Chains A and B, each alone.
Chain A
Amino acid sequence: MTDVVWGLLDLLLILALLALAWGSLNSRNLQRAVIYFIGFGLLLALVWVRLRAPDIALAEAAIGAGLTGALLLAALRDASHSPDHTDRPDRAWRLNPVPTLLSLGLAVALGLAYLQALEIADPQRLAVAVFSHLEQSGVSNPVTAVLLNFRAYDTLLELAVLLTALLGIMALGQARPAYAQAGPVLAGLVQWLTPLLILVSAYLLWIGAHAPGGAFQAGALLAGAGVLLRLAGFPDSHFPAALILRGMVIAGVSLFLAVGLVLMLVGRGFLDYPPAWAGGLILLIETAATLGIAATLMLAFLGGRPAAWSLDTSTTGRIQAADMVRHNTGDNP
Chain B
Amino acid sequence: MTEILAALLVTLGLAFFIAGSIGLLRLPDLYSRLHALTKADNVGLGLLVMGLALLTDDPFIALKLVLIWLLVMAASSASAHLIAQRARRRERGT
Main secondary structure of the interface of B (DSSP, over half): helix
Complex CA–CA separation, A183 to B75 (angstroms): 15
Main secondary structure of the interface of A (DSSP, over half): helix
Interface centre among B78, B81, B82, B86 (most CB of A within 10 A): B78
Closest A residue to B83 using CB positions: A333
A193 and B86 CA atoms in complex are apart in Å by 22
- Interface flag for A192 (CB, 8 Å): yes
B interface footprint on A184-227 (CB within 8 Å = 1, 0 otherwise): 01100100110010000000000000000000000000000000
Chain A residues with CB below 8 A from B85, complex form: 183, 333
- Inter-subunit contact B78/A186 (CB<8 Å): yes
Q: List residues of chain B with CB within 8 A of the CB of A189.
A: 74-75, 78
Please determine whether B82 and A333 come into contact, CB atoms closer than 8 angstroms: yes
Q: Are A185 and B78 in contact (CB under 8 A)?
A: yes
CA distance A186 to B71 in the complex (A): 14
Q: When the two chains form the complex, which single residue of B71, B74, B86 contacts A333, counting CB atoms closer than 8 Å? A: B86
Hey, which chain A residues are within 8 Å of B86, CB to CB?
333
Interface residues on B, range: under 10
Bound Cα distance A131, B81 (Å)? 49
Do residues B74 and A185 form an inter-chain contact, with CB atoms below 8 A?
Answer: no
B84 shortest CB reach to chain A, Å = 10
Complex: chain A residue closest to B94, CB-CB:
A330
Pair B74/A192 contact, Cβ less than 8 Å: yes
Q: How far is the CB of A190 from chain B (nearest CB, A)?
A: 9
The interface residues of chain B lying within 8 Å CB-to-CB of A186 are 78, 81-82
Which of chain B's residues have a CB closer than 8 A to the CB of A192?
74
Q: Report Cα–Cα, A193/B75, bound state, in Å.
A: 9
CB distance from A232 to the nearest CB of B (A): 11
Which A residues are in CB contact (< 8 Å) with B82? 185-186, 333
Tell me the residues in window 146-198 of chain A with beta carbons closer than 8 Å to chain B beta carbons. Answer: 183, 185-186, 189, 192-193, 196
Q: Which of A308-333 contact B (CB under 8 A)?
A: 333
Residues in B with CB closer than 8 Å to A183 are: 85
- Nearest chain A CB to B76's CB is how many angstroms away? 11
- Which residues of chain B (50-94) have a CB below 8 Å from chain A? 71, 74-75, 78, 81-82, 85-86
In angstroms, Cα B71 to Cα A192, docked, is 10
In the assembly, what is the distance between CA of A186 and CA of B82, in Å?
8
B74 contact set on A, CB distance < 8 A: 189, 192-193
Question: How far is A65 from B75 in the complex, measured between Cα atoms in Å?
Answer: 16
In the assembled complex, the Cα of A14 lies from the Cα of B32 at a distance in Å of 31
What are 16 of the A-B contact pairs (CB < 8 Å)? A183-B85, A185-B78, A185-B81, A185-B82, A186-B78, A186-B81, A186-B82, A189-B74, A189-B75, A189-B78, A192-B74, A193-B74, A196-B71, A333-B82, A333-B85, A333-B86
Given A185-B78, A192-B74, A333-B82: 13 more A-B contacts, CB < 8 Å = A183-B85, A185-B81, A185-B82, A186-B78, A186-B81, A186-B82, A189-B74, A189-B75, A189-B78, A193-B74, A196-B71, A333-B85, A333-B86
Going nearest first, the 3 A-B pairs with the smallest beta carbon separation are: A189-B78, A333-B86, A185-B81
